[in-house]
Amino acid sequence: MPYHEFEVSKCIPERKMHAVVKGPGEDLTDALPKGYLNTIPGTISERGCAYCGAKHVIGTPMKDVIHLSHGPVGCTYDTWQTKRYISDNNNFQLKYTFASDVKEKHIVFGAEKLLKQNILEAFDAFPDIKRMTIYQTCATALIGDDIGAIAEEVMTERPEVDIFVCNSPGFGGPSQSGGHHKINIAWLNQKVGTVEPEITSDYVINYVGEYNIQGDQEVMLDYFKRMGIQVLSTFTGNGTYDSLRGMHRAHLNVLECARSAEYICDELRARYGIPRLDIDGFGHKALGDSLRKIGLFFGIEDRAEAIIAEETARWKPELDWYKERLQGKKVCLWPGGSKLWHWAHAIQEEMGVKVVSVYTKFGHQGDMEKGVSRCGEGALAIDDPNELENQEALLTLKPDVIFTGKRPGEVAKKMRVPYLNAHAYHNGPYKGFEGWVRFARDIYNAVYSPMHQLSAIDISKDDYAIDKGFVTRRMLSDATLSEEAKASPITGYTGPFDPISGLRGKTYPVFERRAATEAAE
Amino acid sequence: MNCEVKVKDRIGTINPIFTCQPAGAQYASIGIKDCIGIVHGGQGCVMFVRLLISQHLKESFEIASSSVHEDGAVFGALDRVETAVDVLLSRYPHVKVVPIISTCSTEVIGDDIDGLITKLEEGLLAEKFADREVHLLPIHTPSFVGSMVSGYDVAVRDFVKKFAKKGEPNGKINLITGWVNPGDVKELKHLLAEMGIDATVLFEIESFDSPLMPDGKAVSHGSTTVEDLQATGSAIHTFALNRYEGAKAAQFLEKKFKVPSTIGPTPIGIRNTDALLKKLSAVTGKPIPESLVRERGIALDAIADVAHMFLADKKVAIYGNPDLVIGLAEFCLDLEMRPKLLLLGDDNSGYVDDARIKALQDNVDYPMEIVTNADFWDLEDRLKNKGLELDLILGHSKGRFVSIDYNIPMVRVGFPTYDRAGIFRNPVVGYAGATWLAEQMANALFNDMEVKKNKEWLLNVW
């Protein structure tokens, strides 16, 4: 029987169906945990709410927008400055957040008037910004404010502004995933098709489910632009509001995070006939294959191959240097949703680590299907993990490193398991050929931290040599390597602290349009 | 009058200074030993607050959610609390105290958590957990009332109200610290120890600066026990250091158990620390020892090095929790600085009657503004559009971009301070806090002089 029962969860038997160990010779039909069910109250689950799934995960990375939450101030404050979705417009969306500041009297008498005044005030404070998103919260959903009507009223009075409304209160679904769904569909229904974009290439895509964490989107856009592809919009990292209104004109939707953004892709396919192509920006092989697939779709494989060859030559040796030193290191891969399958196979194959556990906070069974199939035998898969189960898993599995969120990372630290931030990254970006080496570098730095080694020592008991004034990571990681490996001229990652700023303002080759070529012939 | 107190002249909030009431109740709850709160509402109300506090302390701790989903919002969600209490107690055998902390959603739908607690006490606790010491209490913290500050105040009162008993006078004082850091609690306990005063400290959070141990078993937790809380009813006196974070509990103890109380002073700066020690001495009859006279001297010696040469006349804006902001402003004035703008991030109508604010109004001889219900736009708009000039900002990390974008040095104080290492470890209260603050401010200005090449040569000799 593949289900894994945690000792700490014996008193809540329904949890048993939420964790599996992938046994020898077993496949998905033997081992698939339940997913996306209502949370069991009081378990100390790590899940967030549907408001944050809509506003914080998907809405706010849009960069040229006033993001206003209609409710008491806490929802806004709490989801402000807790992520690293940067932008190339001086991070407006990171710096500014807006709350309608609903108080008791508004709960009693309604907050629509308050909302309208808020909208006007916010536009007045930032006269250069003409776009706004408004997010419902628990309180204003329950009092039944008609946010859409107020937005329409303002748009009529001020024709130069445009407002998007997302009704996704915190209680709307088992986790943040409910909010992902709601904002996908709301955006499609309200905004897609309301702007006609200018088409400048024969190859036009929307890049969907990409949030520009530490610059991921800008790294990927660099490849697309080098291939002569026009990226009509990014949903939503570093994306502009108006570009996302023109999504209907793309030839292809290139989908990165299928957990949070497959809904809009599927609907764009149904309504506008735009095909969906799922890709992985993480991992040299997966990324190469992704660029090849896009190239194949448009008949420009050669452009993809050129980039893959150039980037691989530059970064693969450094990646391999880390792979040699991370062989067999045990990893708990505990992200929110899609990274469990984006990363599981890629880190095992390309960094040599062994994924001993995956979990997902808000993923669905489909995510677990992908994740479990990409793990090796013996891996423990957990849906909607809770605090005690995590601790039990860490004690049992004894991983060398864990990729998870900030707060669970603090739990791991105390248990002497170094942590990397799976959501916001440590020193990202992690996408792209270079980014993947940065990820390997961060893992290596965590695993071989001399401080981590010191923290294992009980100076009152252990008889340990005090003959060294220092220890370097190399002294720890290379101890058992072959002389040949030790003699490698490479010493790890050689890129800069900030690989993103240099991409901004970069010029790209101009490819002749097919129509023009055909006309000339 | 040079100092005006005004309410923010906009209705909405651009970049809030405070979060909402449940966050304050949650911060209070982690100060109690064997306590795990259940926040009754959507999951984000816990998940993000835990993230926020863990960013601040760089530690983890436990708070649970009743995980209200759609059906609960429509049909009532008390069954979610029932399950949460059962599951929590079943899986955490050490837990004794479970506050049920309400939020906006569950206050709007009108869930009767008080009634539910009675039901659980007579049912679940009596039947399933009969041999356990378990205390349930309701804490009503609707997010649309007050702010995290009042949420903390309400929670401290409700914890005291739940547990305080009149017993034999125990000769102890109650020290209600207000919303402070582990470093502050350590300093306050140090002052009490030097004075030889036995005190019940609400809340003992100094172990949130917890170690990384070879066995991997260290856990961060509050250390104030149920017995400590019970003993508050038998104390000789209550000192609530912060008017807006703990005074409600002091007033309750005074009314119910005739424990006399002193509200304030927030012991920030030399003068306020002096006042606290004098009052402690008066109540307990214990003299201020030579050791503290000496500590005070060390602080003054350090401060004298930086005050009139470097800090004097520097214009400063201060935002954050009200007692902290007022205490810092008072100290800055003692340091010859010029607090120009104080931002208090909620609409508490009591601020205008605060004697400390009135004293500022009576005595400040330069233009100074105090804005209530303030947000960060009240600061940024003044810098960007209204000609406010500042040398320094004092406040928490959420205002970091004002400092960064307007090139104004900033000293991190208050909550949260996640963007600087180790702030929570240092006190702002007591003599040690005064030294730390003055030196942090001076170093921030020194660094700024060097970055901007603004008389950077000045420190060639000092």
pLDDT in tens, A467-517: 899 999 999 999 999 999 999 899 999 999 999 999 999 999 999 998 766
Judged against a pLDDT cut of 90, whether residue A324 lies above it is answered with yes
Claim: this prediction has a pTM higher than 0.80: yes
Structural domains counted in chain A? 1
Distance (Å, whole) CA A272 – CA A482:
57
Residues B434-460: pLDDT tens digits?
Answer: 999 999 999 999 999 999 999 999 999
Q: Is A372 an 8 Å CB contact of chain B?
A: no
Is A57 inside a domain boundary?
Answer: yes
Question: Residue A121: what pLDDT?
Answer: 97
What tokens were used for A109?
Answer: 């008498």
Question: Residue A521: what pLDDT?
Answer: 61
Judged against a pLDDT cut of 60, whether residue B216 lies above it is answered with yes
Question: Residue A350: what pLDDT?
Answer: 98
How close A302 comes to chain B (CA, Å)?
A: 44
Is A103 inside a domain boundary?
Answer: yes
Q: Is A117 an 8 Å CB contact of chain B?
A: yes
For residue B60, list its beta bridge partners.
Answer: none
Q: What is the mean pLDDT of residues B311-317?
A: 98
Is the C-alpha dihedral spanning B181, B182, B187, B190 positive or negative?
Answer: positive
Residues whose CB falls within 8 Å of the CB of residue B160, separated by 6 or more in sequence, listed in order: B202, B229, B232, B249, B252, B253
Question: Residue A338: what pLDDT?
Answer: 87
Q: What is the mean pLDDT of residues A397-401?
A: 98
Q: Is A116 an 8 Å CB contact of chain B?
A: no
Residues B246-283: pLDDT tens digits?
Answer: 999 999 999 999 999 999 999 999 999 999 999 999 99
Nearest-CA residue of chain B relative to A97? B15
Nearest-CA residue of chain B relative to A11? B90
Distance (Å, whole) CA B240 – CA B249:
8
Distance (Å, whole) CA B355 – CA B374:
20
DSSP string, A457-482: --TTT-------S---HHHHHTTTS-
Q: Which DSSP symbol is given to A512?
A: P
What tokens were used for A443?
Answer: 């893992």
Phi-psi region of B456 (alpha: psi -120 to 50; beta: other; left: phi over 0): alpha
Judged against a pLDDT cut of 60, whether residue B338 lies above it is answered with yes
Residues B69-112: pLDDT tens digits?
Answer: 999 999 999 999 999 999 999 999 999 999 999 999 999 999 99
Is A449 inside a domain boundary?
Answer: no
Task: Using CB atoms, pick whichever of B13, B16, B43 lies closest to residue A45.
Answer: B43
Q: Amino acid letter at B429?
A: V
Q: Determine contact, residues B431/B296, Cβ cutoff 8 Å.
A: yes
Judged against a pLDDT cut of 80, whether residue A29 lies above it is answered with no
CATH code assigned at A62: 3.40.50.1980
Is A176 inside a domain boundary?
Answer: yes
Q: How confident is the model at residue A28 (pLDDT cuts 50, 70, 90)?
A: confident
Cβ of B44 and A52 within 8 Å?
yes
Q: What is the mean pLDDT of residues B149-175?
A: 97
Judged against a pLDDT cut of 80, whether residue B421 lies above it is answered with yes
Residues A381-393: pLDDT tens digits?
Answer: 999 999 999 999 9
Distance (Å, whole) CA B349 – CA B359:
17
Judged against a pLDDT cut of 80, whether residue B295 lies above it is answered with yes
Is A69 inside a domain boundary?
Answer: yes
Task: Determine what percent of chain B is predicted with pLDDT higher than 70.
Answer: 100
Judged against a pLDDT cut of 70, whether residue A337 lies above it is answered with yes
Q: Is B372 an 8 Å CB contact of chain A?
A: no
Residues B231-250: pLDDT tens digits?
Answer: 999 999 999 999 999 999 99
Distance (Å, whole) CA B352 – CA B6:
9
Q: What is the mean pLDDT of residues A218-230?
A: 98
Is A87 inside a domain boundary?
Answer: yes
Mean pLDDT, all residues of chain A: 95
Task: Number of A to B CB contacts under 8 A, please give it.
Answer: 251
Distance (Å, whole) CA B443 – CA B203:
31
Q: Is A157 an 8 Å CB contact of chain B?
A: no
Q: What is the mean pLDDT of residues A294-316?
A: 98
Is A76 inside a domain boundary?
Answer: yes
Q: Amino acid letter at A67?
A: H
* CA within 13 Å, CB half, B49: 33
Distance (Å, whole) CA A297 – CA A82:
37
How close B264 comes to chain A (CA, Å)?
A: 28
Judged against a pLDDT cut of 90, whether residue A260 lies above it is answered with yes
Question: Residue A519: what pLDDT?
Answer: 65
Mean pLDDT, all residues of chain B: 97
Residues B382-398: pLDDT tens digits?
Answer: 999 999 999 999 999 99
Which range marks the domain in which residue A95 is found? 50-190
Is A196 inside a domain boundary?
Answer: no
A198 or A338, which is more confident?
Answer: A198
Full 3-state SS string of A6-52? CHHHCCCHHHHHHEEECCCCCCCCCCCCCCCCCCCCCCCECCCCHHH
Cβ of A169 and B42 within 8 Å?
yes
Question: Residue A520: what pLDDT?
Answer: 63
Residues B43-66: pLDDT tens digits?
Answer: 999 999 999 999 999 999 999 999
